[in-house]
Chain A
Amino acid sequence: MKLRIKFTKSGVMVFIGHLDMMRYFQKAMRRAEIDIAYSQGFNPHQIMSFALPLGVGVYSDGEYLDIEANSITSSEDMCRRLNEVMVEGVTVESVKLLPEQAKNAMSLVAAADYIITFREGHAPEGFSMEQFLKFCSQESIVVTKQTKKNTREIDLKSYMYEVKASEEGIYMMIGAGSANNIKPDLIFNAYAEHSGIAMDEFALMVKRLDLYADLAPEEQHKFVSLESLGEDFYE
């Protein structure tokens, strides 16, 4: 059975990197006595995959991992058992059952939304919300993106689905996942360069709100939360 687990990350846990979060959840599965399936072979490993790595220093209200389980109880029970073995800063929000044919979170993720604020004492001088939103509303924003092997030009605008000011900070929904992954810093850096303001490397406090699949990628996009693709289950 395929299960999707949604969790949040806050406090000092934002300093734990992706690989260590994977290790953390592998051990948490054992502590919570989740009946997770193992691969075959001499060194079996848990069948588990994460939707999208979260950068060190980034907070999140919506992280996901999918697991394969041999047996299940109820969403509520499994969620409670996991939370009993979590540390401060990681909370399991939900455990959902996926249809047998469901694709895993990693291959589905197409977009993410974020709230961005400036870290205390690091707000860039001369930053204007109005100017920033204006910058984001241009027809195209071409930047050069550094990849492992080379640099290439991309138009950020094709991956920026929504940018607005909100009460908590700047809200943006942007492309995520293997095909069209961009990060909020990329947009801010482009803006800083464009407007000639200096922004230091610690300026942004980024919180991811949720991850989305795109049910209509060929058309006008239809983004749905990864959580909504699974269902609650009962004993």
Chain B
Amino acid sequence: MRKQALSDEILLKIEKPARYIGNEVNSVTKDLSQIDIRFAMCFPDVYEIGMSHLGIQILYDMFNQWEDVYCERVYSPWMDLDKIMREQNIPLFALESQDPIKDFDFLGITIQYEMCYTNILQVLELSKIPLEASERTWEHPIVIGGGPCAYNPEPIAEFFDLFYMGEGETTYRILMDLYKEHKAKNSSREEFLRAAGKLPGIYAPSMYEVTYKEDGTIEEFKPKYEDMPETVKKEIVMDLTDSYYPEKPVVPFIKATQDRVVLEIQRGCIRGCRFCQAGMIYRPVRERDVNMLKDRAYKMLKSTGHEEISLSSLSSSDYSSLGELVNFLIDEFKGQGVNVSLPSLRIDAFSLDVMSKVQDVRKSSLTFAPEAGSQRMRDVINKGLTEDVIIHGAGLAFEAGWNRVKLYFMLGLPTETEEDIKGIAYLSEKIAKRYYEIPKDQRNGKVQIVASSSFFVPKPFTPFQWASMNTKDEFLHKAHVVNSTVKEQLNKKSIKYNWHEADVTVLEGVFARGDRRIGKVILNAYKKGCLYDSWSETFRNDLWMEAFEEENIDILFYTKRERSLDEILPWDFIDVGVSKEFFKKEWQRAKEEMVTPNCRMACQGCGAASFGGGVCFEAKN
């Protein structure tokens, strides 16, 4: 019989007990006497979200291919179980063995969005691991963070022993060996961390110190010891075809957000949108071979039994074998009751053709992401999409029978004017008009346009990393301008406009570009009860505001303030392969409303060629 960390009584009392029992198809069981290292892999959110994350599936498979390592999973207990675990003093456990996390060698936490920071503290506290890294001993696992938010680890630096910058497939093996070596020679924990911090892509925050100027900006960021590297360069996999990719991903019993086989077709993006961090930090673009993907499609559908398969990448339309892959999936699997779910594609004749094969045109909607309403604004953000292209694509889709369109925009972009803001309403209106140009007897009822805007958060390692971010009031004012402009237009009944929550955006803005001083605010807010901040039902802005006030941290310093180009930014010690010079040049071109060609059109010398592969060398092969 499987061990059960929670009693029957608890499992019967809480929501969705399947979140906590493990035992899923393809989950891995290992004999503890045969392994050297126990690694707990954590996604600090609820199970259904965490289980949908491809990165963990890849790393879980990789670690468990190694005979000396046993990797298990752990997620944030939901609020109901959180309360019970605290009341009954039950330690947080891993799903597979149901053993306490505290007994593991490593706790790896993927940090996908800023609003999970309090959940990280929850996982640590429930595991009975001291929240502050400085208080940990060999009694506790090594806590290592990774994922996109690790590219500015400073706000959460004091909670982690190590951070891994970049893709996990490269350095983890070396780190495991280093750990075994240090355990064997009885090194101190600090000696191990210091040695680990010299490995490629590994950052040991306790080995560095920061001083600040009187105006609050950074005076100096430097290693405490001479032998520690001054910069940490991100790690990436250059050959994605001959690399780890699971053949047997874990299949949850309850419906996860991604309840399907996912094929990651490429990493990186050629587009260079100036607001987009992913488009910069995952450079250069590297594709997986289409034959490898076809092979994995068979194996993963067989091993999971999923009834749906989808593709994952930042910009699937740019994958060079997309047509071949999509047609293969449709021909091969559609007849077997397997749904082929397409990612967001650039709307053109090809994508409409394949979409009409896999979706019911009358029931599905098309998605456009113009990101900004006016052409001027789209040029500023380098979104190489013109109004003509959008209207033309929408026209093609309407003529093929679609009548539902989703549009995604951002508000609060740098240099934004009133006209740019209203442009969201104008563009929506033009799309509606295009629909009604189709003769009445040939169209499919009314058009339904849903336009949504999120609020722009400047991110590290983008040309907008120096930019001023709007305040909550500015954001909401802009959303109301769009809404009232929509309401004044002819086709107001065909257009529905939604906008995001602004309070959360402000916090994201602080964390995204925060420094080490933000850690105490996160700790304070957590102690007040903040948890699951990315969930609207549990988000407590009032407590967060109290925490900022008590810790004497000025939100506007981190959000509203435009940084000068010579300021030392908290993440400057990280080298993502794209140079600061490139970001400066792009920031300047943004202000001049100049579009920069994508990687395949003309190399801009961003620096990513230093990795020695991918799109940077495509033309030269």
Contact = CB atoms under 8 A, between A and B. Distances in A.
B254 interface: yes
Contacts of B254: 20
B343 interface: no
Interface in A9-27: 11-13, 15-17, 20, 23-24, 26-27
B21 A12 contact: yes
Contacts of A33: 302
A196 B305 CA distance: 50
Interface in B223-264: 251, 253-255
Contacts of B2: 11-12, 88-89
A57 B12 contact: yes
Given A23-B255, A56-B17, A30 B11 contact: no
A23 B304 CA distance: 12
Interface in B401-420: none
A27 B306 contact: yes
A24 B585 CA distance: 53
Nearest to B25: A87
Interface in B279-335: 301-307
Interface size class of A (residues with CB under 8 A): 20 to 34
A24 B253 contact: yes
Interface of B: 1-2, 4, 8-9, 11-12, 17-18, 21-25, 251, 253-255, 301-307, 337, 339, 359-360, 363
B11 to A, nearest CB: 5
Contacts of B359: 42
A44 interface: yes
A140 interface: no
Choose among B4, B18, B24, B337 the residue with the greatest number of A CB atoms under 10 Å from its CB: B337
A31 B307 CA distance: 11
Nearest to B301: A30
Closest 3 CB pairs of A and B: A27-B305, A30-B305, A15-B17
Contact of A20 (B25, B253, B307): B253
Contact of A29 (B8, B17, B305): B305
A85 B430 CA distance: 53
Contacts of B255: 20, 23
Nearest to A86: B25
Contact of A13 (B12, B23, B305): B23
Contacts of B1: 11
A38 B338 CA distance: 11
A16 B253 contact: yes
Contacts of B363: 42
20 contacts: A11-B1, A11-B2, A15-B18, A20-B254, A20-B255, A23-B253, A26-B305, A27-B251, A27-B306, A28-B305, A31-B25, A31-B302, A31-B305, A33-B302, A38-B337, A42-B363, A45-B337, A56-B12, A87-B23, A88-B23
B155 to A, nearest CB: 37
Nearest to B21: A12
Nearest to B14: A15
A84 to B, nearest CB: 11
Nearest to A29: B305
A38 B2 CA distance: 35
Contact of A85 (B9, B12, B23, B305): B305
Contact of B25 (A11, A27, A38, A46): A27
A202 interface: yes
A107 B277 CA distance: 56
A119 B359 CA distance: 50
A46 B337 CA distance: 8
Contact of A202 (B12, B18, B24, B251): B12
Contacts of A43: 339, 360
Contacts of B306: 27, 30
B71 to A, nearest CB: 19
B307 A30 contact: yes
